Amino acid sequence: MKEKITIPIGPQHPLLKEPISLRIDASGEEVLGGTLRLGYVHRGIEKLAESRTYTQNIPLIERICGICSHVHTTTFCYAVEALLGIEIPPRAQYIRALLCELERIHSHLLWLGVLAKHVGLETVFMHSWHDRELVLDIMEELSGGRVSHGINQIGGVRFDVDAEHHPMMADKMQKLHERITQFMQIFEREPSIKARTHGVAPLSADLIRQYGLAGPVARASGVDVDMRRDDPLPPYDRLDISVITHPDGDAWSRTYVRIYEIYESLLLCEKILQAIPEGNISVRARRKVPAGEVVVRSEAPRGEVVYYLRSNGTEYPARLKIRTPTLPALAIMPMQLAQIHVADIPVVLAGVDLCIACADR
Amino acid sequence: MDWFRRNTGLLPALIAALMKKPDTVSYPFTPLELPQGFRGAIIIDPEKCTGCALCVRDCPANALELFRESRENFRLIHFPGRCAYCGQCQDACRNDAISNSNQIVGATTDPDSLTLVLKDTQE
Amino acid sequence: MANKLMPEDFLRCVSAHTQQPCELTGHIINETAITIAADDLHDIVAALMEELNLTHLSAITAQQREDHPDEIQVMYHFWQGGGYTLIVWLPAAEPVLTSLMDIIIGADFYEREVAEMYGITITNREETPPLLLPDDWDEGPPMRRKEKSV
Amino acid sequence: MFEVLFYLLIFPGFLFLYLCSWLFEFLDRKLLARFQRRIGPPWYQPLADLIKLFSKEDLMPQGANEVVAIALPIVSLCAVLTAGIYVPVAGFSPESFEGDLIIVLFLLSIPTLAYYLAGVTSVGIYSLLGGARSLLQFFSYEVPLLIALSGPAVLAGSWSIQEIIARQSETGAFLLFQPLGFLLAMIGLIGKLKRDPLDIPKAKSEVVAGSLTEFTGVKLGFWHLVMNIQAVVGIFLIINLYIGWTSAGNPLLNISIFLIQWLAMILLLSTASAVFARLRIDQLAGLGWKILVPLSLLQLTVVILMGV
């Protein structure tokens, strides 16, 4: 049974939430390598954006990715506001940061469930997605939408954080804190999980630098980079963020980094809620944006997202380039597929935390 | 008891789960409680609507169209099938004529319900 | 890692490896940008990597501006504490770029996307299938089409 | 003649075993659902699934061996049902002779071999991989299982299950004498049934559905029946070998005691499936040969010394 076979992890596969086509060549249970094809969810968002006005573009950009929709609209709005030369009120900045952190918690909890399901622990999958409902309830109360919130507009935010939201958020976050400690205990002590994740598909720090990776996968290999601290958007420069890294860069350290990032984001949410200033939540913005170019970077749950926007004085953006964090993560995946078993493929795919809708745009 | 909680992995979580009521709800049979800001079907207040088409201009999904025969005769058509329920029309409208109700838009089989005449001055 | 790179040494290092005069054009907000010639792109990037340890290539943007209809602008966005961009102009008729894959492997996906979206042929790298477009795509580079979508 | 038909078709035969497997699948899925804070399926779900599968179109992949693909589920169903006849239920079994334990063990491992054959003859990488994995897994759990299950036979000094039961009613349940044997038997049963911690041959996220990826319609319905009845018969076997049976007066009481023992075993299996993550095939092989086999040999020697 040692002859070479190609295992198709094709567009439809229980492993994949979104369609990619991965051809793994293996001999028996040893994986030799993999070739990757993308483009199944390519909607040409960059071209679409050129034929819509800036306000019409916000719902479009929100639908690039189902999990990190708020980070995309926040980065886009900051880019347009930079071109307009306007400064949004501090309260709106804090509300945007609050939702960014809530979305990071929601994205990491979703990833925790997917990893548990791939490792064979259906119960942890169900429990973590059950606890994720707490975060989704908070976001739904704040903005009316569980996933695509539609809270951002050019010049600020559309909905305010009222007084009665605070107790609800505080109590839900407290419950979430206990559940995360429970998950951490399970993941640290459960021998069968440790057996499946320790030492699987390690990534060295200079390999990460060569591929230009930032985000949880990079931090899990010891590369200390975090856009919220190194190139901060407005409210983050006033908040101190502790960046979690882990030295040895295998599937377990990626799990460790992401779980502790949930703790960190919970802490950040509390800080934001305490430090949120009073005042109005949006500023009137002109519809025609003066000609100019801008590049804005921010920290999405999966890493660094880069927006390049050029305006030519009309209501329509002249060019919008979006580089999402999953692209370099997908580029590095074949390196991880070289020395693992067939049974480890799900753990590697979960470790990369694929968001194909982001990668294909 | 503390040793048991720390060292038996998932068991305490399972026992706790058995105690509690299941959290999934069988949706069509038990109604879902929706948050206050939920953006559902589009509704309009005909008196307030002046036919200025600000909402048509800001709709990202071309789900609103305005046919204007003369200065005071116009028809505002809404296409629920195309609408993304993003609430941009609600923001764009200066005199709060159009807004999102919090009633979930169900699937439909008859094509006529896909073109909704929100306001027609001739009628 | 993220000690901020001074724009002056960025300019000094770039101009040390090219004959044309180059100066910091401040026209992109949050970025220090320099326009360079296409053929000394490769050794400028190599120099930047050794001397200033500027290895993090964030993105490669290509565009066809309305005021330069017969040229394609390609921008290499680097990052180290702040944004640093190298701008290259290519003739729109037959745009050619040298690949940076031999020094930055991460440039692979970005180059493939720019190549298929703008029809740029990229030299000294092996032939690869399109990244995002279907294999049987024959209607030319999509991003260079002018018609507006509804 | 009529009595034989009754035994074959009604009491320990098909109808009784099917009803038990129905109850088993419902309880297992409901319990797992409640562990996961879900409502879980209604009581008629297993029957509904069976009817749905039987009414589905029966596809046959091109190039697959039709005869084998159809014969395998039927053969393994017959094997499992005949095994069900010899395993006593609440102390009663229509036929019992010296050596029927070995027959039952052999009949219970026919579905695993059929599963391997189904994987190899069917077309497609996933079935091939699933089949290969089920064979690999077969070797790593079958040896400790057989040794563990032969423990009670050695203690009772006979290979007939009725004798073992009779012996236990005198000396008390063998579970007390060899708890390690009971644990190994449970692990072996989980491996044989391909249940959750050891569902490597049909791991959803690695090999889609293992050998059964290409099976649809009636064939898949039969396979589900085989898996469920195999689980029921396996649990009956372990109950008889380790807890034995002392009749308690009227039949109603007998049935309820046996039912309680059965429900306790299902609870044990469901908790195991909810608590552990799936192992890799090489880890399972390592676990099997480095830990399970020596333990079962140790258990056997202890039992032999105790028995003499």
Per-residue pLDDT tens over the stretch C139-150: 888 888 877 766
At A68, phi and psi to the nearest 5? -110, 50
- What is the per-residue pLDDT for A2? 63
Per cent of chain B over pLDDT 70 is: 95
CB B49 within 8 A of CB B98: yes
Nearest to A117 by CA among A22, A14, A9, A18: A14
Residue D209: is its pLDDT beyond 60? Answer: yes
Indicate the helix (H) or strand (E) that contains A303. Answer: strand A303-311
- Cβ–Cβ gap D275/B10 under 8 Å: yes
Summary mean pLDDT of chain D: 88
Band (A75; pLDDT cuts 50, 70, 90): very high
Residues of chain B neighbouring A189 (CB-CB closer than 8 A): 6-7, 9
Q: Is the pLDDT of residue C9 over 90?
A: no
Distance from CA of D31 to the nearest CA of B (A): 9
Does residue C87 lie in a domain region? Answer: yes
Joined together, the tokens standing for residue D178 give 């060899």
Selected residue of D195, D206, D270, D287 to mutate for chain A interface (largest A Cβ count, 10 A) = D206
Predicted local distance difference test score (pLDDT) of residue A265: 92
- The pLDDT value recorded for residue B122 is 79
In D, minimum Cα distance to A342 occurs at D206
Of D5-9, D212-216, D227-231, highest mean pLDDT: D227-231
Taking an 8 Å cut-off on Cβ atoms, the answer to whether B6 and A59 are in contact is: no
Q: Out of A232-246, A251-265, D163-177, which region has the weakest mean confidence (pLDDT)?
A: D163-177
pLDDT digits (tens, 9 = 90+) for A286-305: 889 999 999 999 999 999 99
pLDDT tens, residue by residue, A334-349: 888 887 888 888 888 8
Query: What pLDDT does C1 receive?
Result: 45
In this structure, is residue C55 part of a structural domain? yes
Structural domain boundaries, residue C101: 7-123
Average pLDDT estimate for D271-300: 88
CA–CA gap between residue A47 and residue C118 (Å, rounded) = 12
Banded pLDDT at A109 (limits 50, 70, 90): very high
Domains in chain A (CATH in brackets) are 44-325+351-360 (1.10.645.10)
Query: How many domains, chain C?
Result: 1
Strand partners, B99: B43
Please tell me the predicted confidence (pLDDT) of residue C150.
Answer: 63
Q: Give the one of A56, A121, A137 whose C-beta lies nearest to B60's C-beta.
A: A56
> In 3-state terms, what secondary structure has residue A299?
strand
Rounded Cα distance between D83 and D77, Å, is 10
Residue B68 burial (CB count, 10 A): 13
Given this model, what pLDDT does residue B5 score?
Answer: 67
Percent residues over pLDDT 90 in chain A: 43
Specify the CATH number for B38-120; select among 3.40.50.620, 3.10.450.50, 3.10.20.30, 3.30.70.3270.
3.30.70.3270
CA distances to A18, A275, D53 from D50, in Å: 31, 59, 5
- pLDDT of res. A120: 86
Would you call D53 helix, strand, or coil by DSSP? Answer: helix
B4-63 tens-digit pLDDT? 766 677 788 888 888 888 878 777 777 777 887 888 889 998 888 888 889 999 999 889
Q: Does residue A106 have a pLDDT over 90?
A: yes
Q: Is C61 helix (H, G, I), strand (E, B) or coil?
A: strand
Q: Letter for the amino acid at D27?
A: L
Interface test with B, best of A189, A288, A314 (most B CBs within 10 A): A189
Give the mutation candidate from D205, D208, D273 for the A interface (greatest A CB count, under 10 A).
D205
Q: How confident is the model at residue A268 (pLDDT cuts 50, 70, 90)?
A: very high
> Is C79 within the bounds of a domain?
yes
Whether residue A50 has pLDDT greater than 80? yes
Q: Where are the domains of chain B?
A: 38-120
Task: Please state the rounded mean pLDDT for residues A203-228.
Answer: 89
Q: Give the count of beta carbons closer than 10 Å to the beta carbon of residue C150.
A: 7
Token output for C126: 């092996």
Residues in chain B within 8 Å Cβ distance of D40: 22
| pLDDT over 60 (residue D195) | yes
Q: Do chains C and D touch (3 or more CB pairs under 8 A)?
A: no
- A99 versus D58: the higher-pLDDT residue is A99
Q: Flag whether residue B69 sits within 8 Å of chain A, measured between CB atoms.
A: no
- Smallest Cβ–Cβ distance between A126 and the set D36, D203, D281 belongs to D36
pLDDT (tens digit, 9 = 90+) per residue, C109-137? 999 999 988 888 988 888 888 888 888 88
Q: What is the pLDDT of residue B1?
A: 67
Q: Which residues on adjacent β-strands are paired with residue C78?
A: C57, C84
Are B23 and D37 within 8 A, CB to CB? yes
Return the pLDDT at B33. Answer: 77
What is the CATH number for C112? 3.30.460.80
> Using CB atoms, which chains have 3+ pairs under 8 A with C?
A
Local structure of A270: helix, strand or coil = helix
Section A246-262 average pLDDT: 91
Contact B86, B39 (CB under 8 A): yes
Mean pLDDT across chain B, nearest whole number? 84
Strand partners, A23: A8, A35
* Residue A103 pLDDT: 93
DSSP reduced 3-state for C110: helix
In order of A245, C57, C58, the CA distances from A203 in angstroms are 13, 19, 20
Percent of chain C with pLDDT over 90: 9
Q: Does residue C146 form part of some domain?
A: no
Non-local CB neighbours of C142 within 8 Å, separated by 6+ positions? A44, A47, C117, C133
